[in-house]
Amino acid sequence: MNGPDRAPYRLAQQAVLLASPARGDAAGDPNRSLLASLVAGQSAGFGCLPADLGLGPEDHARLLAEYFPGARLAIVNRPAIVIPEWEDLYKLLADECDRALPSAAWMSRIVATACAGSDHLWQDLGLSSRDQLSALMRVNFPGLAESNSGDMKWKKFLYRQVCSREGIYVCPAPSCGVCADFAKCFGPEN
Ligand code: SF4
């Protein structure tokens, strides 16, 4: 599928997913539309997420069966990109996720896996906009979202959180306001 066809395809796939009646807790989960966007984006070849979104085959099958039962769509077969910091990113996200949400733990795995991509995080996730990622962060990781009050680029923000947890400060300036790299961390994510 070529570039211009992918966006309408993704929208159509998302509509197919959301038209299927969710089961149990999945029906009222605020993540359902975000998960539909992630699955549809992967199906359309956006982002870098592997076929199972980084969940492993069993949880991926559970996600589809509970949130989008009966919906059939193509999946792009590609492996996860392996990064050595995955565990640290996952631990940060898992520690900070809203455990009252049935799918927040899955979101922790999905976001950590997408950090391996080379674009902005919303693009690596295969979402349709940065606003969607900001909503995903607010819903699933409210403490982290609140901490990013300066609207730092999300991937930069997560890496900075991991580094500060470990006591590692690699930033070239004592504070962002006086840093020559400010635009790299806070510029628009388009
Ligand atoms: S703007 Fe500079 S000091 Fe702030 S996070 Fe980015 S690199 Fe670090």
pLDDT at 167: 78
CB of 182 sitting under 6 A from ligand 1: yes
C-beta of 185 in contact with ligand 1 (< 6 A): yes
Nearest to 144 by CA among 186, 89, 182, 190: 89
Q: 44-53, 89-98, 154-163, 178-187 — which is least confidently predicted? A: 178-187
Interval 106-161: pLDDT, tens: 999 999 999 999 999 999 999 999 999 999 999 999 999 999 999 999 999 999 99
Measured in Å, residue 116 CA sits from the centre of ligand 1 at: 20
Using a 10 angstrom Cβ sphere, with 0-12 exposed, 13-18 middle and 19 or more buried, the burial of residue 83 is middle
Whole-prediction pTM = 0.92
Q: Has residue 76 got a pLDDT over 80?
A: yes
d(CA 125, CA 122): 5
The H-assigned helical ranges of the chain are: 3-19, 32-43, 57-67, 86-96, 104-114, 121-124, 130-140, 142-147, 154-165, 182-186
Sign, CA torsion 90/153/14/3: negative
For the cut 90, the answer to whether the pLDDT of residue 4 exceeds it is: no
| Ligand 1 centroid to residue 115 C-alpha, Å | 18
Q: Is the CB of 179 under 6 A from ligand 1?
A: yes
Separation of CA 118 and ligand 1 centre (Å): 19
Unique residue bearing structure tokens 């840093």: 179
Distance from residue 172's CA to the centre of ligand 1 (Å):
7
Please say if the pLDDT value at position 168 is more than 90: no
